[in-house]
Structure 1
Amino acid sequence: MTTSVSIFPIRHHGPGSARSLEHALSQLNPDVVLVEGPSDADPVLPFLTQRGMKPPVALLGYVNDDPARAAFWPFAAFSPEFVAFRWAARASARFMDLPASATLAGERRNDDHDDLHSDPLRVLAEAAGHADFERWWETLVEARGDDFEVFDAINEAMRAVRADAPPPTGREAQREAHMRQTIRAALKDGAVRVAVVCGAWHAPMLDVDAFKAKDDAALLKGLPKVKVTLTWVPWTHGRLSVGSGYGAGVRSPGYYDHLFTTRSAVTERWFARVARLLRAERLEASSASVIEATRLANTLAALRGRALPGLDELNEAALSVFGWDSDLPLRLIERELVVGEALGEVPADVPTVPLAQDLAKLQKFLRLKVQPEQIDLTLDVRTDNDLARSVLFHRLNLLGVPWAKERYAGGRGTFKEAWALAWKPEFSVQLVEASRSGQTVHDAATATATDAARTAGTLAELTTLLESVRYADLSGATPVALAALDARAAGSADVSDLLEALPPLARLARYGDVRGRGSESNTLAGGTFRTLLTRAGVGLPLAGVGLADDAAATLRGKVNGADAAVRLLDDPDALRGWQAALTRLADRDDAHPLLNGDAVRRLRDASVLDGPEVERRLGLALSSSVPLEVTAWLDGFLDDSGAFLIHDAGLLALLDDWMTGLDATVFQETLPLLRRVFSRFGKPERRAIGETLRGGGAAGRGVRRELDEDRAMLAVPVVLRLLGVTT
């Protein structure tokens, strides 16, 4: 019996390739279909034909002992490989590329060094003057009318290209040798008609008669291998796009899906989807507009000699009909339809790690929708379901799976939490990595937090971790975190570290976990807070001495956080101790002026320093012979608000007298720094300060002025010329 091997060179994720391949397989009716992909993934192929498998999905392979070493092989509904496997449900199908165990054994490398190598059909189409590859492919298919001849033509073109290309070496040569060996094995097993589906670049090298089997075997001898696991995971259209960084990505996966799955009235149905999208966003999109856009797209295609409108024609028509004077509709269409964020699904019985299974159960039990588009949730943790959701989100963040990101919700001391949820395919790998710490979300998060407590390098890391542990309700990790915190606190003398550790402790001591649990750890947090605050207060004045400007700015930020933490705790003894430390810092002449001025401002706001004392300290600061020190002091003192200058005429007068007394050279050097300080004030504040200095404000009556006649006379000639007076 005569055997035959039919090679179908395709473009990865090309709808034209997929549709042509579907027709060709139906005509050939092969005994076995061999598809480019890791050959050790054959055991999970049957899942592709199950009802619960909804593309886009990806084949995930990872090293058992090192899950971070992983690779994905994505498939969309319009991927020719996926179409081949779905068709082959009636026959036999296998992967034929190097096994993942060999691919992942060494460092991952990208053998596609250029566009011609990675996407040769697109490059050939562009060379022929076709901007839209898929339209070119459809035209080519219709023009020839025979699927086999189309694939033969592509094969012939690739043979010409590869004849001038350097011979394959390294991993590429091994891949093609393994494909040829797989073809030989299929023929040896008794297959009469073999269909080979591969990227167009490899097609000319898969003629088994042109290569010796022993040479291929020699190339594959001694391949390094590791133990791997392969499974299926959901994928998204966004991750199939070129913009995601995917090497074989396409420009418009959402549009390609529409093109492949819509068998008739492609243009009309596309604009119907556009109209539904725009209406959902409260933008105008009438039925008449859909008809007009369809006619315009068809007309553009006819003028350009195309049988059907391509994406360029669709976008131009959409912009003309729906865009009006804004590109917002087109940007919406691009994001939601052209690219899209459709998330695939895999059957429940697809093998995966127990941790991922536990998470899936929790998501279902807590009625949490898993989707790539962002979902904003506001939780009331006084209710059981929202409390359980919050605990899950905090545990996942501890595991390094940031599916939910916390947003500001009116303060940590309320019963409200705000979260933004968006699922990303790479979380599947992160779950595999996290599974080494435990088989359930609770156990893995507990183990991860315990390890983090034992290896934390700073007090700030420990206090932040302790807060996270409480919100994640990990009672098993709490004693370890508290013990590590006590040990670290006993030996730490770094003022910056001490200050940075205070805010999480203050929140935990004041509010606990906002759930009515953990009172013992909250009390311990309060005691630890007071201990750390005392030690930070003792070292703060000296810590502000001899600092560079950037170091002083960093320390000021930590002082700000500690100050807010002390006020949040609302402990009179702690507040008095902290204010005493700020007073000692403000009294040090050798402290960095930024910190000195900042301390005076905080003491003024707390009414520790009265008005005359603040004026005295401001006067001393302004008397410095170094203008840069003055501006640094003012930067700390004025902070981001100048409101008190508007209402304190004495302070404003002192500042004004200092500025007007600077000589021209010093003023020019100082002006940029002063602008930086005052630019942080709100526009109404700057206007009010200007009106006050001009004498128009209420505070201006307290500012005394002396007229400088010589300077005033300089403006007289200019004013006279403006008035048209000649002298």
Structure 2
Amino acid sequence: MTLLAQAAGYTDHELWWERQIEQRHNVVDLFAGILEAMTALRADARPPKEEEAQREAYMRQTIRAAQKEQFQRIAIVCGAWHAPVLTDPGPAKEDEETLKGLLQVKTTATWIPWTYSRLSSRSGYGAGMDAPGWYAHLWSARDQLTTRWVTRAAHLLREQGLDASSASVIEAVRLTDTLAAMRDLTQPGLAEHNEAILTVLCHGDMAPMQLIREQLEIGDKMGDVPGEAPTVPLQRDLENWQQRLRLKPSIEKTKLELDLRKENDRARSQLLHRLQLLSLPWGKQVAVRGKSGTFHEHWQLQWKVSFAVAIIEANVWGNTIASAATSYVIDAARKSKELPELTELLQHVILADLPDAIDQLLSILQERAAISTDVRHLMDALPPLARVARYSDVRQTRAERILPIIDGLFERSLIGLPGACFALDDDAAQAMLNSIDHVQDSVQLLDRPDQRQEWLQCLRSLAGHDNIHGLIRGRSCRLLLDQQALGEEEMRDLIQLALSPAVPVTQAAAWIEGVVRGSGLLLLHQDQLWHALDQWLSALNADTFIQLLPILRRAFANFQGPERRQMGEKVQQLHRSPQAATAHGTRHGEVEIDQEHAAHVLPILAQLLGVKNGN
């Protein structure tokens, strides 16, 4: 098509196709003209490759079979390139030689409901068109072509809450016709319509034009297939699994609770995870709180009509759910360049129980981990692997090959982390903070004493280094506090280092933001920290305090309302006089006890502990 467009003086083959084919009102001898053009192109072309020659030989054999059945009018649906060699099939002997020796494979065919989006070249369809929705409009609205198209665009914009008045529609139609006249066109094309709509209706903004591109130029219409059409193998395999596992698809939202210690429930979980890998989200996993979350899964199921098309599309990866998911995952892993993506994918694959994909992913992961130099990527890759290793026994999957990878990533992360924390700006420090939290989550999940000690030592190094961003030093200090890894004297030294007058106030505020990040309840019991913060804030002058106020507000913004109220009460207690504190029954470091309420609790507590009340 590109060669024909160039021969006609066009630089854009889509524009040539629109004007010569789609906009043509007189279609007499159109197919004859296309056949003549293709014949001329093939005359100087190279001989077809072996696979293409086999395809065309089989096409001719099919035509001969139809002629043998005495059909008089035979319609051939094919690419125009093949037309010259199909009009006269000729003797069958040469084609039989071409097809001789090919392996015969039993296949099953089905119809797929095509949509405008699949007909577009953007979908990857080699013979696709750029704007199927526009071409359909050309055939359905030959009268008042411009008026109807611009009106549809205006309706679409109004549905999205954008302004598109009738006066603007009239002006856009006039501009479209004017552009066509200036370019000496018999009627406006898609380019003229787009320019007018962009100028008048969208006011030069490309964002609404993207909406028009998606909804109008391409469109979302879907065709129908006969009810008696055979199903693809993947569909039959899914139906067999649904019947075997007693999972009936329904358009209504239903809840499903699975106990992974039971074989049938574990198989259900694996099926739902495999479908998710194939972009068939029949089930959406719901977070589970509490200890039961280690061996329980809660799902919300809802079958959608569009899944019928998605299953047909996914059949290119395999004829069963397991084989299709395996092929898809391996292909995605080979294309992935980032370690966190690979480890996240590995986690999903293990949940889906795809042994072949696991082996391939582990090999790819080892190769990428060995050459990766990005410390944050190494750190971000740890949590999915830790979850896999932690819950492997429950799901009856093997984790022996995963633990060495975790150890390698962990050691390299600890070696590179201190150096990666130098000279970071605020945004980079925030990103590094997230990676540090990922390592912390991994260490807590695996709960290995040797790994925990190494991590605590690394956190001490970060917390006590004055050349590291305050946000990271504060977060490291807080992680040490939460794990009770800091003594009072060590904590006092870190506070003095972070909040000393020599430290820039912005870095001190960043340290506070890092140290208060986390559980508010645990923070409330750090009296030494609260006294240090109070003294530091009290020493600030008014201008500096106003400057730092947004940072401090942001530091406490993530806490819940009751937690912030308790923190306010905590600060009030810091400023009470010893006499007032004594009057309220409270001294420094003590907690005020309501004796009346305690009297109601003590009998129950004594019964739980197995002792007599009053002992």
What is the TM-score normalised by the length of structure 2?
A: 0.59
Give the Cα–Cα distance (whole angstroms) in 2 for the partners of residues 581 and 487 of structure 1: 26
Query: After superposition, what is the alpha-carbon deviation per residue over 1:309-356, rounded to whole angstroms, capped at 9, x for unaligned?
Result: xxxxxxxxxxxxxxxxxxxxxxxxxxxxxxxxxxx9988642443323
Confirm whether residue 499 of structure 1 aligns to residue 379 of structure 2: yes
Structure 1 position 636, deviation (Å): 0.6
* 2:419 paired residue among 525, 533, 542: 542
Moved more, 673-682 or 525-534: 673-682
Give the corresponding residue for 1:681.
559
With over 3 angstroms needed to count, the CA separation of the structure-2 counterparts of 1:699 and 1:573, relative to structure 1, is: farther
Confirm whether residue 702 of structure 1 aligns to residue 588 of structure 2: yes
* Identity percentage of aligned residues: 38
Query: After superposition, what is the alpha-carbon deviation per residue over 1:43-67, rounded to whole angstroms, capped at 9, x for unaligned?
Result: xxxxxxxxxxxxxx97758869989
AA matched with 2:255 = D
Confirm whether residue 424 of structure 1 aligns to residue 304 of structure 2: yes
AA matched with 2:447 = D
8 A Cα contact 2:347 2:388, kept in partner:
yes
Give the corresponding residue for 1:110.
134
Give the corresponding residue for 1:523.
400
Give the corresponding residue for 2:357.
477
Query: After superposition, what is the alpha-carbon deviation per residue over 1:462-510, rounded to whole angstroms, capped at 9, x for unaligned?
Result: 2222222211111111211111121122222211111111111111112
Give the Cα–Cα distance (whole angstroms) in 2 for the partners of residues 247 and 354 of structure 1: 34
AA matched with 2:410 = L
AA matched with 2:232 = V
With over 3 angstroms needed to count, the CA separation of the structure-2 counterparts of 1:523 and 1:472, relative to structure 1, is: same
Aligned length: 413
With over 3 angstroms needed to count, the CA separation of the structure-2 counterparts of 1:646 and 1:410, relative to structure 1, is: closer
With over 3 angstroms needed to count, the CA separation of the structure-2 counterparts of 1:639 and 1:588, relative to structure 1, is: same
Give the corresponding residue for 2:496.
619
Structure 1 position 572, deviation (Å): 0.7
SS at match of 2:300: strand
Give the corresponding residue for 1:583.
460
Give the Cα–Cα distance (whole angstroms) in 1 for the partners of residues 289 and 227 of structure 2: 39
AA matched with 2:312 = V
Structure 1 position 385, deviation (Å): 2.7
With over 3 angstroms needed to count, the CA separation of the structure-2 counterparts of 1:345 and 1:513, relative to structure 1, is: farther
Structure 1 position 643, deviation (Å): 3.6
Give the Cα–Cα distance (whole angstroms) in 2 for the partners of residues 436 and 637 of structure 1: 52
Give the Cα–Cα distance (whole angstroms) in 2 for the partners of residues 692 and 478 of structure 1: 57
SS at match of 2:297: strand
Confirm whether residue 649 of structure 1 aligns to residue 527 of structure 2: yes
Structure showing the higher strand proportion among its residues: 1
Give the Cα–Cα distance (whole angstroms) in 2 for the partners of residues 371 and 61 of structure 1: 27
With over 3 angstroms needed to count, the CA separation of the structure-2 counterparts of 1:107 and 1:429, relative to structure 1, is: farther
With over 3 angstroms needed to count, the CA separation of the structure-2 counterparts of 1:468 and 1:669, relative to structure 1, is: same
Give the Cα–Cα distance (whole angstroms) in 1 for the partners of residues 475 and 408 of structure 2: 24
Structure 1 position 679, deviation (Å): 2.6
Give the corresponding residue for 1:369.
248
8 A Cα contact 2:343 2:385, kept in partner:
yes
Structure 1 position 575, deviation (Å): 0.9
Q: How do residues 79-158 of structure 1 correspond to structure 2 at under 5 angstroms? A: 104-110=128-134, 116=148
SS at match of 2:258: strand
Give the Cα–Cα distance (whole angstroms) in 2 for the partners of residues 699 and 489 of structure 1: 59
Give the corresponding residue for 1:570.
447
8 A Cα contact 1:506 1:529, kept in partner:
yes
| Structure 1 gap segments, 5+ residues each | 1-38, 41-56, 71-100, 124-164, 172-241, 249-343, 704-727
SS at match of 1:702: coil
Give the Cα–Cα distance (whole angstroms) in 2 for the partners of residues 168 and 699 of structure 1: 90
AA matched with 1:545 = F
* 2:278 paired residue among 399, 403, 407: 399
Give the corresponding residue for 2:544.
666
* 1:554 paired residue among 431, 441, 447: 431
Confirm whether residue 360 of structure 1 aligns to residue 246 of structure 2: no
Confirm whether residue 488 of structure 1 aligns to residue 368 of structure 2: yes
Give the Cα–Cα distance (whole angstroms) in 2 for the partners of residues 480 and 524 of structure 1: 12
Cα root mean square deviation, aligned: 4.0
SS at match of 2:134: coil
Query: After superposition, what is the alpha-carbon deviation per residue over 1:19-62, rounded to whole angstroms, capped at 9, x for unaligned?
Result: xxxxxxxxxxxxxxxxxxxx98xxxxxxxxxxxxxxxx977588
With over 3 angstroms needed to count, the CA separation of the structure-2 counterparts of 1:357 and 1:699, relative to structure 1, is: farther
Query: After superposition, what is the alpha-carbon deviation per residue over 1:228-279, rounded to whole angstroms, capped at 9, x for unaligned?
Result: xxxxxxxxxxxxxx9xx9779xxxxxxxxxxxxxxxxxxxxxxxxxxxxxxx
Structure 1 position 595, deviation (Å): 0.6
Q: How do residues 181-196 of structure 1 correspond to structure 2 at under 5 angstroms? A: none
Give the Cα–Cα distance (whole angstroms) in 1 for the partners of residues 424 and 147 of structure 2: 53
Structure 1 position 569, deviation (Å): 0.6
Give the corresponding residue for 1:601.
478
With over 3 angstroms needed to count, the CA separation of the structure-2 counterparts of 1:470 and 1:640, relative to structure 1, is: closer
Structure 1 position 424, deviation (Å): 3.4
8 A Cα contact 2:463 2:473, kept in partner:
yes
Give the corresponding residue for 1:199.
none
Confirm whether residue 452 of structure 1 aligns to residue 332 of structure 2: yes
With over 3 angstroms needed to count, the CA separation of the structure-2 counterparts of 1:59 and 1:398, relative to structure 1, is: closer
Query: After superposition, what is the alpha-carbon deviation per residue over 1:639-695, rounded to whole angstroms, capped at 9, x for unaligned?
Result: 144445543433222211111111111111011211121233333333322432342
Query: After superposition, what is the alpha-carbon deviation per residue over 1:159-180, rounded to whole angstroms, capped at 9, x for unaligned?
Result: xxxxxx9987769xxxxxxxxx
Give the corresponding residue for 1:691.
572
AA matched with 2:260 = V
AA matched with 1:108 = P
Give the Cα–Cα distance (whole angstroms) in 2 for the partners of residues 590 and 675 of structure 1: 25
SS at match of 1:529: helix
Query: After superposition, what is the alpha-carbon deviation per residue over 1:413-468, rounded to whole angstroms, capped at 9, x for unaligned?
Result: 62211222233344344333322221221111111122223232122122222222
* 1:350 paired residue among 220, 223, 229: 229
Structure 1 position 528, deviation (Å): 1.5
8 A Cα contact 2:113 2:309, kept in partner:
no
Give the corresponding residue for 1:93.
none
What is the TM-score normalised by the length of structure 1?
A: 0.51
With over 3 angstroms needed to count, the CA separation of the structure-2 counterparts of 1:599 and 1:454, relative to structure 1, is: same
8 A Cα contact 1:67 1:429, kept in partner:
no
SS at match of 1:401: coil
Give the corresponding residue for 1:4.
none
AA matched with 2:341 = E
Query: After superposition, what is the alpha-carbon deviation per residue over 1:269-297, rounded to whole angstroms, capped at 9, x for unaligned?
Result: xxxxxxxxxxxxxxxxxxxxxxxxxxxxx
| Structure 2 gap segments, 5+ residues each | 1-75, 78-111, 138-144, 156-179, 191-210, 218-222, 590-615
Give the Cα–Cα distance (whole angstroms) in 2 for the partners of residues 608 and 692 of structure 1: 27
AA matched with 1:689 = K
Give the Cα–Cα distance (whole angstroms) in 2 for the partners of residues 473 and 59 of structure 1: 32
Give the Cα–Cα distance (whole angstroms) in 2 for the partners of residues 420 and 66 of structure 1: 36
SS at match of 1:388: helix
Q: How do residues 34-53 of structure 1 correspond to structure 2 at under 5 angstroms? A: none
AA matched with 1:461 = E
Give the Cα–Cα distance (whole angstroms) in 2 for the partners of residues 67 and 247 of structure 1: 15
8 A Cα contact 1:354 1:440, kept in partner:
yes
Give the Cα–Cα distance (whole angstroms) in 1 for the partners of residues 232 and 120 of structure 2: 13
8 A Cα contact 1:621 1:633, kept in partner:
yes
Query: After superposition, what is the alpha-carbon deviation per residue over 1:347-406, rounded to whole angstroms, capped at 9, x for unaligned?
Result: 864244332332233334333333344333221222333222211111112122222222
AA matched with 2:134 = N
Give the corresponding residue for 2:321.
441
Give the Cα–Cα distance (whole angstroms) in 1 for the partners of residues 523 and 458 of structure 2: 26
